[in-house]
Structure 1
Amino acid sequence: MQKISALQKARYGYIPKLPPVIQEDLSKIQAQLGEPTEAVADREELKKLFEKTYGKPIATFSRGSNPDASKKRKVGVILSGGPAPGGHNVICGLYDALKKANRESVLIGFKNGPAGILENEYIELNDKIINDYRNTGGFDIIGSGRTKIETPKQFEQAFKTAQEQQLDAVVIIGGDDSNTNAALLAEFFAKKGTNIQVIGIPKTIDGDLKNQYIEASFGFDTATKVYSELIGNIERDAISSHKYWHFIRLMGRSASHIALECALQTQPNICIISEEVRAKNMTLAQIVDQITDSVVKRAEKGYNYGVILVPEGLIEFIPEVGNLIEELNTLLAKEAAEFEKLEDTKAQIDWVSSKLTGRNKDVFVSLPAGIQAQLLMDRDPHGNVQVSRIETEKLLIEMVATKLKKLKAEGKYNGKFSAINHFFGYEARCAFPSNFDADYCYALGFTAFVLIANNLTGYLASVRNLSRPASDWEAGGIPLTMMMNMEKRHGEMKPVIRKALVELDGAPFKTFASQRDEWAVETCYQFPGAIQYYGPDDVCNQPTKTLKLEQETE
């Protein structure tokens, strides 16, 4: 029997806060609809793909009358993709709102992600199950998965399950790819002439599902606080032992939001921002030079130690390597059968080397064999290289060490360089949610129900004004197609929600950039410590520095 920790028992009693408008009688909340919207790009193509759901208006909530809110409903919920702190509270908020509107309404949880709706595997959620998961981390209440609903057969299977279950709505809790699935499912249901609604919830610790109306994806707050505690611990160890350079790779395949937030919280010596690398067309050698310069200057001061943060997706943002990866993805998608016949890694590397063209071939051949092999590992479900498996920090350590050895031989460096590599990823995905994420997720669950109660489909739940206390939050929804563009997947153009990258002209990056030269040479470390759940607001109820900086400048 699972034992419950004292913290978990205490967290059961935490009462999440809600935006004022959805604290009201749910039958008195109306969705106010604005003007039609457009996608962020590729509008004509997307209009053709989403004939029924493209261009819907933004929804905001206000007091009014909605007698439909109290009708009996049956809703299915899906956890999709990697876990993020707060997912359980989304389900709790959805369940509480559903039951508040009508105690006879039913919430079922499809098991192990989108596969659950394809295979019609589910559990009916009740008070006991829900109460066992309030304010806790993880996705284990129903399990998650990365199955994509993309083939005609799969869409028909999902539709069949929804009909057999007599569902009024499906809520999909996931990131940009999962919510792209939600948009496609909403369109498919609409084309079938059914009234089954689909609502998405913005989840990803990477922080790359955001825009003007989705100010943060849930889990980012907790994850960056967990990582920052670990980084601060390492920084404290570094100034205690005075002998190691710590290269820390952080989650964030497609954007550097996690690395940037952790840098703002901990002030490491170096933090590489992938988006800046791409914008400046930096080479791998230039990145190595930047790190080496910090090592040399700190050694001159007697500091033979330091901390460096590296986003896991960095290697794709280095233009020369990114071009290589793009050709690799296409090559391995189109010639997968031939590639799979090769029996060992050397044969694979030789085969790929013979197929690559021009500069891409030169870059691939120049990489260490270990990195070459990692670039050829199994692709993710979207046909892309799995960058979490590429040990970029080890590549940088090797190249910096080689550069320092050369400088030492030239009499330009007389320090000591001992490096340790780390990867912080799974450590934060299932953490107990911070108060912010506990509140935000519960509010997103409530918001999803209000969107359903107002007969909306193809929407993403939105809670805004997040840098302020929850009493100032505003709830509503935005159409999923509004966030979409066309991108190449498996060698073909597909509709996807565009990832939000770090904005180099944004306040968070500018704040970081204004201080990093000093951090590179001096020891300016900060030690955030563990997440606090109890205490004054400035200790336990603060949002991320990213969110505060973004909204202070608006």
Structure 2
Amino acid sequence: MLEALQGGDFFSRSRSLFKPKIPPLLKDLSQLESINSDPTDCVGYEEDIRNLFPKTFGQPKVYFARGASRPIKPLKVGVVLSGGQAPGGHNVIAGLFDALRELSFKSELMGFLGGASGVINHLTMKITEECLIPYRNTGGFDLLGSGRAKIETEKQLECSLKVCNSHGLDGLVIIGGDDSNTNAAVLAEFFLNHNCKTKVVGVPKTIDGDLKNEWIETSFGFDTACKIYSEMIGNICRDALSAKKYTHFIKLMGRSASHVALECALQTHPNLTLLGEEVAYHRKSLKEVVQEISEVIIDRAEVGKNYGVIVIPEGLIEFLPEGSITGEMLSDLSIEQDPHGNLPVSQIPTETFLINLVKKNLKARGFQGQFSPVAHFLGYEGRCGYPSYFDATYSYLLGRSAALLIHQGLTGYMSVASHLTQSVENWEVSGLPITSLLTMEERKGKIKPVIKKALVDLKGKPFQFFASHRQQWEIEDHYRYPGPIQFEGAKEVVEEITYTLRLEHSKNKALATPLN
């Protein structure tokens, strides 16, 4: 007991001892060789992307197969955590470290501190087995720290080149989201143009779930964050049903895309879940959104239910038609337009904003029922939790795969894994050219190469299942209570994956049983 109070942590120690499973093929990396698939193109603006990335455009997707053993030279690799935190980041580093040491015990791993600015400003630390021990299977990015800096100006690129050359790095692994992996593609091209031997590999990270496509089944962190939020939403649902007097407005982190809100809705069955993509598709105005919320509240009140749970995605405001929000609507929140007449949507506390508008709408409609709203924002709570079994295993595997890509001399690739709905023994890793994910978009007034964000697909199975059940959830108290993430116990509970992933890869169109 005294040891625990003085800093010893029995749970942390038990998690540090967890050893993620790996597919049989990846148990002896020295005997693996890369096999090229067909050349790739890109998502859009092929001519522009080809001109910007002449050396890396069109590279093939690569797979791995067992081949003959061959002499292996020690590798020196750098790693950087970029952007917002996501559960599993430390396990990517652990997987990378273990794989490098398995290939050669003389291999070295160096961490850049504070995100991309650590690469630019030459801020480093040597990663050893001893320093990794307390971070294995833990949340957070605190081993190295992170940041929002980008490597994009000529000076920043030159500084990065100089730093990597000065350390003689064979590889640089960038763990990040769509912007960070776009940076990885830019760096890979720049290094090749300057005869730098450093190979650049990206790893897909984001709790938002918007970095995925036919090759990237999910980003690490999404599974854990959604399970953490779903536990809390389930608790709030239970409280609403117990007290029977509060209407909870819960805003969920997730930037522009509504994947987190959709997954949590599938997990918990709130009475109403708004999705930005659906609002945009139907071109719903803010007034119509407020009407929709008000009608659910009124309908529930008519059957004696003056309580409920409403889930709102963080990026909802961005999907509303231009002109939907007026300065008058924001007056109660003390938010003003800028000198150019623009509304600072990022500063709008959406949940409180909607509560105020719903109150006014209900009053105008002569609502006689009870409306006691409570606002919540679930965001930072989900970014640094202990990674779930899925995320701990998946991120560790992505780290091992990144080491393998560098060992094979590949650059401008992203480490990916497939067959994630199956048991770990059947997972397959591969390398995906980052240029194959690129298109051109306007960012901050400039047309730039970017990885296109994946929004909720309104024709996809997760949304279709949600849409077919939500009307029942509006009036009935059909709440689900997922409870906390389980690390030990029944396999079907510990190794459970998100409903989003399960539905997207299910051959059963209904797939109703798991959600009842």
User: How has the CA–CA distance of structure 1 residues 43 and 2 changed in structure 2, closer, same or farther, with 3 Å as cutoff?
Assistant: farther
2:127 match: 125
1:405 match: 363
1:369 to 331, 334, 343: 331
User: How has the CA–CA distance of structure 1 residues 4 and 375 changed in structure 2, closer, same or farther, with 3 Å as cutoff?
Assistant: farther
Any idea what SS the aligned residue of 1:137 has? coil
Any idea what SS the aligned residue of 1:255 has? coil
1:98 match: 100
Q: Does 1:22 find its partner at 2:21?
A: no
2:433 to 479, 495, 516: 479
1:370, distance to aligned residue in structure 2 (A): 5.8
What is the identity, as a one-letter code, of the residue corresponding to 1:549? L
Any idea what SS the aligned residue of 2:206 has? coil
What is the identity, as a one-letter code, of the residue corresponding to 2:380? Y
Any idea what SS the aligned residue of 2:34 has? strand
What is the identity, as a one-letter code, of the residue corresponding to 1:78? V
Q: Does 1:550 find its partner at 2:504?
A: yes
Q: Check the 8 A contact 1:179/1:201 in 2, yes or no.
A: yes
2:204 match: 202
How big is each residue's C-alpha offset from its partner over 1:324-354, in whole Å with a ceiling of 9 and x where there is no partner?
xxxxxxxxxxxxxxxxxxxxxxxxxxxxxxx
TM-score, structure 1 normalization: 0.88
Q: Check the 8 A contact 1:31/1:61 in 2, yes or no.
A: yes
CA distance in 1: counterparts of 2:116 and 2:68, whole angstroms: 34
CA distance in 2: counterparts of 1:407 and 1:66, whole angstroms: 76
User: How has the CA–CA distance of structure 1 residues 246 and 376 changed in structure 2, closer, same or farther, with 3 Å as cutoff?
Assistant: farther
CA distance in 2: counterparts of 1:116 and 1:451, whole angstroms: 23
CA distance in 2: counterparts of 1:363 and 1:511, whole angstroms: 31
Q: Check the 8 A contact 2:248/2:309 in 1, yes or no.
A: yes
Q: Check the 8 A contact 1:364/1:372 in 2, yes or no.
A: no
1:2, distance to aligned residue in structure 2 (A): 7.3
1:84 match: 86
User: How has the CA–CA distance of structure 1 residues 231 and 363 changed in structure 2, closer, same or farther, with 3 Å as cutoff?
Assistant: closer
1:435, distance to aligned residue in structure 2 (A): 0.6
User: Following superposition, which runs of at least 4 residues in structure 1 exceed 2 angstroms of deviation?
Assistant: 65-68, 362-367, 369-377, 384-387
1:386, distance to aligned residue in structure 2 (A): 7.0
Q: Does 1:494 find its partner at 2:448?
A: yes
Q: Check the 8 A contact 2:35/2:64 in 1, yes or no.
A: yes
CA distance in 2: counterparts of 1:174 and 1:223, whole angstroms: 16
1:212 match: 214
Q: Check the 8 A contact 1:84/1:138 in 2, yes or no.
A: yes
User: How has the CA–CA distance of structure 1 residues 530 and 91 changed in structure 2, closer, same or farther, with 3 Å as cutoff?
Assistant: same
> Matched residues, percent identical?
49
User: Tell me, which stretches of 5 or more residues in structure 1 are unaligned?
Assistant: 321-359, 378-383
2:423 match: 469
1:390, distance to aligned residue in structure 2 (A): 2.2
1:344 match: none
How big is each residue's C-alpha offset from its partner over 1:99-140, in whole Å with a ceiling of 9 and x where there is no partner?
000000000000111111111111101110111211011101
2:514 match: none
1:363, distance to aligned residue in structure 2 (A): 4.4
Any idea what SS the aligned residue of 2:135 has? coil
2:304 match: 302
Q: Does 1:276 find its partner at 2:269?
A: no
Give matches, 1:483-522, under 5 Å: 483-522=437-476
Q: Check the 8 A contact 1:462/1:478 in 2, yes or no.
A: yes
What is the identity, as a one-letter code, of the residue corresponding to 2:316? L
Q: Check the 8 A contact 2:286/2:325 in 1, yes or no.
A: no
1:446 match: 400
CA distance in 2: counterparts of 1:401 and 1:86, whole angstroms: 41
Any idea what SS the aligned residue of 2:505 has? helix
2:511 match: none
Q: Check the 8 A contact 2:318/2:345 in 1, yes or no.
A: no
1:351 match: none
2:118 match: 116
Q: Check the 8 A contact 2:268/2:481 in 1, yes or no.
A: yes
What is the identity, as a one-letter code, of the residue corresponding to 2:143? I
Q: Does 1:12 find its partner at 2:16?
A: yes
1:433 match: 387
User: Tell me, which stretches of 5 or more residues in structure 2 are unaligned?
Assistant: 509-516
Q: Check the 8 A contact 1:66/1:454 in 2, yes or no.
A: no
CA distance in 1: counterparts of 2:312 and 2:385, whole angstroms: 22
**Number of residue pairs matched by the alignment:** 502
CA distance in 2: counterparts of 1:19 and 1:212, whole angstroms: 21
CA distance in 2: counterparts of 1:228 and 1:256, whole angstroms: 14
1:65, distance to aligned residue in structure 2 (A): 3.2
2:512 match: none
User: How has the CA–CA distance of structure 1 residues 293 and 265 changed in structure 2, closer, same or farther, with 3 Å as cutoff?
Assistant: same
TM-score, structure 2 normalization: 0.94
What is the identity, as a one-letter code, of the residue corresponding to 1:505? K
> Superposition RMSD on alpha carbons, in Å?
1.8
Any idea what SS the aligned residue of 2:335 has? helix
Q: Check the 8 A contact 1:507/1:553 in 2, yes or no.
A: no
1:374, distance to aligned residue in structure 2 (A): 7.1
What is the identity, as a one-letter code, of the residue corresponding to 2:298? V
CA distance in 2: counterparts of 1:250 and 1:109, whole angstroms: 31
Q: Check the 8 A contact 2:165/2:196 in 1, yes or no.
A: no
What is the identity, as a one-letter code, of the residue corresponding to 2:365? L
1:319, distance to aligned residue in structure 2 (A): 2.1
Q: Does 1:51 find its partner at 2:54?
A: yes
1:484, distance to aligned residue in structure 2 (A): 1.0
